[in-house]
Amino acid sequence: MGLTLTWLSVIILIPLAALFLRSTELSFDQFWAILSSRRTLNALRVSFGLAFAAACVNLVMGSIIVWALVRYRFPGRRIFDAIVDVPFALPTAVAGVALTSLFAEKGWLGAPLAALGIKVAFTPLGIFVAMIFIGIPFVVRTVQPVLQDIDAEIEEAAGSLGASRWQTIVRVILPSLAPALLTGLALAFARAVGEYGSVIFIAGNLPNISEIAPLLIVIRLSEFRYADATAIAVVMLVVSFVIIFAVNRLQRWAQNRIPVH
């Protein structure tokens, strides 16, 4: 246990503490001025808003993918199961370039979308796509083992006691999956908020429109405005922490609602 705390301290807590310490060098007025600037607010809004939207899409699509992979047999199932991990392994910069050329106006998917009047690359929509890409394995890999472990007997009991299939899924299976779904949502969201490599290629990076907060931090660092960078980082950290903590609570609540297990 001492080992755990030491290791966690060295790897996670000390860097975070250094970040907070650095931000205390700012007076409150300075801190506030940095945060309330239009560019910072917009960057935070873009990052958190799109990350949340992407995490929600991943939650829904991830559940559908998990259901198909676990419950059904179809040609290529194993290949698709393996392919889910690609966003983990592909270097984010490579993913960013690939998604950009895919969704650029002359790309394989960008061209048909452009014909419909939808621009993806170099718009906030592009950021959204990149965040979906990097988040999907988190939902699938957290929910998959839980769905695999659900006892067939529970479902059969529900079915034989007269529940319709839909009722069984919504009232029996879904509550058992809820903690895993929430964990997947939180992981996908956290990853999307902090994502840098794949997003900056596809975003277009226009200040106030498609500039994400991590990019703004890097820009401030390259301008030697360390205080600004630290202030934005601290806010991101605090907001992320609050959200993850809330999800954690929600997860606990969902877990306690399951009578069995």
Instruction: Give the binding site for other proteins (CB under 8 A).
Output: 1, 3-5, 7-8, 61, 64-65, 67-69, 71-72, 74, 76, 80, 83-84, 86-87, 90, 94-95, 98-99, 101-102, 108-109, 129, 132-133, 136, 152, 155-156, 159-160, 165, 168, 248, 252
Instruction: Evaluate whether 146 touches 100 at the Cβ level (below 8 Å).
Output: no
Nearer residue to other proteins within complex by CB, 36 or 160 = 160
Query: What minimum distance in Å lies between the beta carbon of 3 and other proteins?
Result: 5
Query: What minimum distance in Å lies between the beta carbon of 101 and other proteins?
Result: 6
Q: Give the H or E element holding residue 232.
A: helix 226-257
Query: What minimum distance in Å lies between the beta carbon of 99 and other proteins?
Result: 6
Q: Which amino acid is at 22?
A: R
Nearer residue to other proteins within complex by CB, 30 or 248 = 248
Nearest to 201 by CA among 45, 82, 91: 91
Nearer residue to other proteins within complex by CB, 41 or 258 = 258
Nearer residue to other proteins within complex by CB, 18 or 93 = 93
Query: What minimum distance in Å lies between the beta carbon of 70 and other proteins?
Result: 11
Nearer residue to other proteins within complex by CB, 29 or 153 = 153
Is the Cα torsion angle 213, 218, 223, 224 positive or negative in sign? Answer: positive
CA–CA dist 130, 21 (Å, integer): 33
Instruction: Evaluate whether 191 touches 134 at the Cβ level (below 8 Å).
Output: yes
Query: What minimum distance in Å lies between the beta carbon of 233 and other proteins?
Result: 23
Q: What number of helices (H) and strands (E) belong to the chain?
A: 15, 0
CB atoms within 10 A of CB 190: 19
